[in-house]
Structures are given as C-alpha cells and as structure tokens.
Chains A and B, each alone.
Chain A
Amino acid sequence: MLTIVAPITLVAATAVVGTFFERSTEIYFINALIAVAIVVALYVFVGSTGVLSFGHISFVAVGAWTAGVLSVPVAEKPATMPFLFDFLAETTVGNVWSLVLAALAGGVFALLAGLPLMRLSGLTAGIATFAVLEITNNVLRYYEKVGPGLNVFSSVPETTDLQQAAIGAIAAIVVAFAYQVSRFGRQLRAARDDAPAARAVGISVYRQRLGAFTLSGALAGLAGGLYVHYLPISVDAVYLDLTFITLAMLVIGGMTSLWGAVVGALAVSGLDSLLAEAENGAAGIDLPSGSRIVVVGALMAVVLIVRPSGLTGGRELNLGRLLRGSPGRRGAA
C-alpha cells in the first residue's frame, strides 16, 4: 500500500508547499511536478524492461504539439502558425480535451514506433529509440503544417497551474502503479530479470514490451500536454537536454521503482531550482550565472558513484526496512 501512497503523498506535499510561495517561486514547483509526470512515464517502460529509451521525449513532444496546436484560439492561429492543415487551423478544443488528445497522440505514436522497434533489445533498442527522437525533432522543427516549426508556441492558454500539474503527476503515478501490479507489469518484470525463464513460461516479451511502450508513450504525451500549457515552448525544449535530464532523474532516483522515479525527479528538480535561485543571488549563497549546471552535473556524477543503483536503491519505500535501518537483502537489479 505504501508503494502507491508514498509517491502520491510526496507529490501532493510538493504542490501544497508550492502554494505558499508567490508566482516567481511557484514555477519551480510546477516544473518539478511536470518532471515527475515525464519521469514516471519513462519509468513505466524503462523500469519494467531495463531497456533505456531515448525516445520518450518524442512522445512528450508529440503530446505537446497536439495539445498546443489544438488549444490556440482559431482566430490567432493564422498569425503564429500560418501553414497548418485546414482541420487543425479550424479546430480549437478545451483544456481537458487537449490533454486527453495529447495522451492519445503520445500513445498512438508510441504504438506505431514500438511495433517494429520492440523487437530489439539492449543498446540496439536504445539507439533505435534515439533515432525516433531525432526524426520526430527534425520533422516538428521543419514541418509547419502541424505546428509552429522553429517558433515558440505562443498564445496557448497557460492552464497548467500547481493544481493541474499535481493532478497530472498523480494520475501518472496511479496508472504506473496499476500497471506494475497488473499481470502484464509482472510478466514484463519477470522477463527483465530472466528473459529465457520468462519465455519458457509462455510470456511474449515483444507483446508485453509493446504494451508498456504504448502506455508510457501515452503518459509522456499527457506530460507534454501539461508542459505546453505551462510555458511557451519551442522544439528545442523537448529535445536532447530534456531527454538526458529526465533519464538522469530516473537513474539517480533508482530506475526500478516508482518511488525512485518520483524521488529522482523531485530531488534533481529541487536541486536545480535551488541553484537557479542562488544564481539570482537569493538563497544565501551567490553563484555566478551559468554555474548551476556545473554543480548539477558534478552532483549527479557523485550520486551515481556513491549509489550506483540510485538514491532509493531501486526499491519501493518500505517502512520496516527504514525503521530497522538495514540496507535490505537484495541488491537492486
């Protein structure tokens, strides 16, 4: 039970703490919650298969593009996106629908990409998903019939506040939990830990992976929808940097547990925000501008060296173990 309650509590607490700050600080909290949504989406696939995916940010991007293009009021589309397909130019949907469609678009795209790619494994699969990211980014950057191309998304209603970001993150956590305790999630974890044995008891690794990829693609699409409703983003915001930082969050938290995904996302975002404040001269210490990423990078490396399986060791929160203070019997996978 703690497995689902603890991450939700942590996310809700983050949102509640965020309400005590004024807008300029509140954005850090919204940012962190969106990061949780993305990392949990990533976790659904990476955590249960052990295959690193570099392609998930393309699902975030597709979700963001879907929600963004569909939410800009019809009257303002010709100004910012003059080359849109007619059916996109003439349609505007509400906030909730845009998020639902973003999730749908992310899921469908992941399904289509996964159909061939889920046959691959290991590093080959990683590079293939990277290729998906490159292609998605390249197309969104230059194909102006589906979005603003090189420009930023302007005039998307900024509806992602603390409340919506928290709801989105919690929804992602609930879905991820439901999946990991379902028979499909368990089958895939079995296949991750011992593929030949899993095959021997009749588990189709390909089909289970495709399911996880699609589900996590849908969650990533939802997170992308939240993101575009939060900031006027451009194609560069959903590319390499976001890919690396979210993967780093997952691995730093501990990539085989939901708790690890949430803790990693919040810890790295929190540190990043704190240092951003320090760069602005707040928070007591004064850092030169631009040094934030140096510190974040160094600390990430240190955490990985000291705790190679992540802050949580890749395990769910366990009060008994916490109270006994014993390091747990099994090493994380």
Chain B
Amino acid sequence: MTVLATALSDFLHAAVEPQVQVDAIGIGAIYALMAVGIGLVFGVLRLVNFAYGQLVMAGAFALAYASDQDWPVWLGIVLCFVVVITLTLAMERVVFRPLRGKPAATMLVATFAVAFLLQAVALLIDQTDDTLGEPAASLAKLNVPWTILGTDVRKITVVAIVTAAVCLAGLVLILSRTTVGLHMRAAAMDFETARLLGVRADRVIGSAVLLSGILAATVAVMLTVQQPLVTSTFALRETIVVLAGVVLGGMNRLFSATLGGFAIGYASGLLGGALPTAQSQYLPSILFGLVIVILLVRPGGLFTRGPGPVERV
C-alpha cells in the first residue's frame, strides 16, 4: 500500500511540473482538433469515420513530398490542404453518400475498408524508394524550444495551442453565426426534421465534411513537426486514442466530444511525461483502463449533463 502511495505521490509531483503540463496541453490541443473533425461528421452522418487518421496521413505524405522537392514551406502546406480536402470530399462522395442511413456497423466497416485502402496505397508509395518512411523536414525548425521562466516550451506547442484555439473559435463562429452552421446544428440534432424544414442534406453534410477535412490538414501539419518521419501508419495511434476520447467525452454533442478529445490527449501527455521509465511501456494499459472506468461510471459521456442519450441497444 505504501509502495502504491509513494508511486502515486511521485507521479503527482512529476505531473505538476510546468514542463509536463505544457507538453500535455499541446498534445491535448491537437487531439481536440481531431476530435472536432470526427465529431462534426458524426453529428450530421451518425458515422464514426475510422479513416480520419488516414486523411491526416495523406496530408503528411504531401508535406513529405514537398520537402523532398525542396518546395518552400508555405507551398507544402498548401499542397497538404489541397490533398486532404480533395480526398475528404471524394471519400464523402464515393463512400459515405451511398451508405447514408445504412446500419451503423456497415458504415463503420466501410470506413475500415477505406482506411485499409489508403494505408495500402501509402505503403505502395512509400516503397517506391527503398526506405521505410519519408521525412517531412521543412517544418522541423518549429521543434526548437523557447525557454520561458525556466520551462522549455517548444515552438510547435505554442503553435498547436494557438492554432487549436483559433480553429475552435472559428468553428464556434461558423456554427453559431452562419446559416450553414445553424443547419449543421439542426441536422446534428434531428436530421429528418431538419430536412423537412428545408435544410439541404447534401449541402450541410458537404460543409461538415469540408470542415473536418480542413481540420485534418491542420493536424497533419502539426503532427509532422513532432513526428517528421511519415509512414503508412502515421496518425493511426492518435486516431484510435481520439476516437476513445470522443466517445468518452460524449459523442452526441460537438462540445463534449471536443473536450473528450482534449482530455484524453492531456491525460496521455501527463502519463507520458510523468510516469517513470520502467512503467511508461504500460502507458496504453493505464490510459485505456481509465477509459473503461470512466465509460462505466458515465456511459452517456463525461462532459454531458443529465441522463445519457437514450440509444437503441
């Protein structure tokens, strides 16, 4: 018992270090953006897009290509956005649209299939030269730290937090102040009724998918700074963790889903920064153990109020 108490107090001491906190918030910010991307599409389509990580991966490959061609950084970022948004819209048109309103399991497995496919294509591209993984080097200079009050804050952490804040604020504006945002919120609440009241399905779904693509491209830019070696499994881990976070937070509202994404990123940042090395290999176990406990206590979502949504079993 005392051993456990000592371990816990060591962990807490390590966890309150400003260094650990700043890094954890940085991870949380990126995960929150991914959570919004997944939550937006879920809101209008009731579809859990498992292939979201592969969109990010495609963006990362675009950045790697740009840095391989010695393009300026801004051009690489433009390419990344073009690739990801094109792919997102194509995915919606080719796969999501024909499956609209089909059983949830079918839609989910279809996104598995797309994820498989994109990953396999990426592996084929990756293998055209004989090295595993392509470096996306152009943005790596953001990885150097600033020292603020004795804490090393990497520039990318600041960039990530600011970008996430700007994106989320922009999104709130779109959702609350524009017609299409209003339509999106209405569709997320009750798609059928919204359609009866004149909300155009294709347009509202298209906008949600477009926004989620923009967010995926943004995430790709920021993740390549931290993991400059782009492989076909790029962002796969992150997607799984974010999906858990989104459900944990409460999938039915964008706000709670986003908070869930942030919370799980923050928690994994804390665990990664503060666990002693001997235990850090069991980080996924601890993280997903927490996920199970929280799901059991709050099955409707950690950040939702009142009783959970009534769901068909």
Q: Do A and B come from one complex?
A: yes
Closest beta carbon of chain A to B258's beta carbon, Å: 17
* A142-B247 contact, Cβ under 8 Å, with A120-B296, A290-B120, A308-B99: no
Whether the Cβ atoms of B106 and A135 lie closer than 8 Å is: no
Q: How far is the CA of A283 from the CA of B108 in the complex (A)?
A: 32
Contact indicator per residue, chain B 292-313, by CB within 8 Å of chain A (1) or not (0):
1001100100000000000111
B167 within 8 A of partner (CB): no
* A128-B291 contact, Cβ under 8 Å, with A294-B120, A308-B102: yes
Whether the Cβ atoms of A121 and B311 lie closer than 8 Å is: yes
Closest beta carbon of chain A to B265's beta carbon, Å: 16
Chain A binding surface SS class: helix
Whether the Cβ atoms of B284 and A290 lie closer than 8 Å is: no
Query: Which listed segment binds A: B111-119, B220-228, B269-277?
Result: B111-119
Pick the residue among B105, B296, B312 that contacts A116 (CB under 8 A).
Answer: B296
**Number of residues in A with C-beta < 8 Å to the partner?**
51
Contact indicator per residue, chain A 25-40, by CB within 8 Å of chain B (1) or not (0):
0000000000000000
Pick the residue among B95, B121, B248, B311 that contacts A301 (CB under 8 A).
Answer: B95
Q: How far is the CA of A120 from the CA of B311 in the complex (A)?
A: 11
B176 within 8 A of partner (CB): no
* A244-B112 contact, Cβ under 8 Å, with A120-B295, A130-B240: yes
Chain B binding surface SS class: helix
Q: In chain A, residues 78-120, which have Cβ atoms closer than 8 Å to a Cβ of chain B?
A: 116-117, 119-120
Whether the Cβ atoms of A293 and B281 lie closer than 8 Å is: no
Whether the Cβ atoms of B281 and A298 lie closer than 8 Å is: no
**Interface of B toward A, CB cutoff 8 Å:** 48, 95, 98-99, 102-106, 108-110, 112-121, 123-124, 127, 236, 240, 243-244, 247-248, 251, 281-285, 287-289, 291-292, 295-296, 299, 311-313
List 29 A-B residue pairs with CB atoms under 8 Å apart, sorted by A's residue number. A117-B296, A120-B295, A121-B311, A123-B251, A123-B311, A124-B247, A128-B296, A130-B243, A130-B288, A131-B291, A134-B284, A134-B285, A138-B288, A195-B313, A240-B236, A251-B105, A251-B109, A290-B123, A290-B127, A291-B120, A292-B120, A293-B120, A294-B124, A297-B115, A297-B116, A301-B110, A304-B99, A304-B109, A304-B113
